């Protein structure tokens, strides 16, 4: 669904105050060679409040933006923020695995630059009643799109011990997954777990005293619930291959990940895309089997000490990037 950017609002300054785009200058630097060409199209697959996109539209005056987000609040705020750019902006309400359909609906076949800034946004963390932050007592919602789907409270109320343990282990890499799952089942037998503060109490009580200083006991469980509620990893596994297929020759993609599960998948996919598929034992590489992409950075880049000091949310970021160097066979 396309969204027309409305007029500006006083909330714009608020959004700029609470949201500092992560690794903005590095993202611009990496995508610039692809976006300087006439008629370039840039896809911000995780639009959020539009901080990254605003910078690209300002610095590349001929670029057209297609911005995607599942969060209707984020789309509204970004639409107000980017309204000054007029018909250069097309915003689409969709999860990022709908990238191919969103680009096609905008009348575009191929694009030149794509940015994924994964994880939970500043808007979702800072609005207490969304339930993403374990430091704030709020209803356990955690949906990035509040118009659809099950909430974190629904997961806690309906999943069995085995399923809770599975998501805590897989999506949170939580060593106490079984212990926490049993504690949740015991607590919900007394009353429904519907607020983040109550869940934190349950997890804290179930954490051995010797581990209480090893980080907040709720951090990994909240991450796991958020990923489960929003289907984040499954969506990412569909979205990135589709994004690579959309890139023109010379087109570039940048991905910012904030937790190891996401980063491992991005690393593996880009490794496959930048590897030759020439069968082993052949003396020369066959042109049709040459790598389709090349890596633009070695390994994963981290935020500088200065940026982490200015913007603590940049602390866990891992940046990876690639450029299309050959069309598909």
- Cβ 278 vs Cβ 285: under 8 Å: yes
Ranges of H-type helices in the chain: 11-18, 24-35, 51-59, 72-82, 99-105, 122-126, 152-158, 161-172, 177-190, 196-206, 219-230, 232-246, 260-273, 305-310
For residue 8, is it left (φ>0), alpha (ψ between -120 and 50) or beta? beta
The reply to whether 117 sits in an annotated binding site is yes
The reply to whether 180 sits in an annotated binding site is no
- Cβ 68 vs Cβ 94: under 8 Å: yes
Among 252, 295, 299, CA closest to 32: 252
Contacts 24+ apart (CB under 8 A), 194-200: 194/139, 194/140, 194/153, 195/137, 195/138, 195/139, 195/140, 196/131, 196/133, 196/134, 196/136, 196/137, 196/138, 196/139, 196/140, 196/222, 197/137, 197/138, 199/134, 199/140, 199/156, 200/134
Q: Tell me the three state secondary structure of residue 106.
A: coil
- Cβ 42 vs Cβ 31: under 8 Å: yes
The reply to whether 96 sits in an annotated binding site is yes
Residue stretches of the annotated binding site: 50-52, 69, 96, 117, 124
Residue stretches of the annotated binding site for S-adenosyl-L-methionine: 50-52, 69, 96, 117, 124
């Amino acid at each position: 669904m396309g969204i027309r950017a409305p007029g500006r609002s006083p909330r714009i300054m608020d959004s700029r105050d609470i949201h500092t785009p992560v690794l903005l200058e590095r993202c611009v630097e990496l995508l610039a060679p692809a976006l300087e060409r006439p008629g370039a199209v840039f896809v911000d697959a995780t639009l959020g409040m539009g901080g990254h996109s605003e910078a690209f539209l300002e610095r590349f005056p001929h670029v057209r933006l297609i911005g995607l987000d599942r969060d209707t609040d984020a789309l509204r705020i970004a639409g107000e923020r980017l309204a000054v750019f007029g018909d250069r902006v097309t915003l689409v309400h969709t999860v990022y695995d709908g990238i191919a359909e969103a680009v096609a609906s905008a009348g575009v076949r191929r694009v030149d630059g794509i940015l994924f800034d994964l994880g939970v946004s500043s808007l979702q963390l800072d609005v207490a009643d969304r339930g993403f932050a374990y430091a704030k007592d709020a209803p356990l919602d955690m949906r990035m799109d509040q118009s659809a789907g099950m909430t974190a409270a629904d997961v806690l109320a309906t999943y069995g011990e085995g399923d809770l343990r599975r998501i805590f282990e897989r999506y949170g890499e939580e060593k106490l997954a079984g212990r926490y799952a049993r504690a949740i089942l015991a607590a919900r037998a007394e009353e429904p777990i519907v607020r983040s503060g109550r869940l934190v109490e349950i997890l804290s009580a179930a954490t051995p005293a010797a581990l209480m200083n090893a980080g907040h006991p709720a951090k990994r469980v909240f991450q796991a619930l958020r990923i489960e509620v929003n289907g984040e990893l499954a969506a990412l596994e569909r979205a990135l291959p589709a994004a690579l297929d959309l890139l023109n020759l010379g087109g570039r993609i940048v991905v910012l990940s904030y937790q190891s599960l996401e980063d491992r998948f991005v690393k593996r996919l880009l490794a496959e895309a930048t590897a030759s598929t020439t069968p082993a034992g052949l003396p020369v590489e066959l042109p049709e089997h040459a790598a389709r992409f090349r890596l633009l950075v070695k390994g994963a880049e981290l935020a500088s000490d200065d940026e982490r000091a200015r913007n603590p949310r940049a602390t866990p970021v891992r940046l990876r990037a690639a450029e299309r160097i050959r069309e598909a066979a």
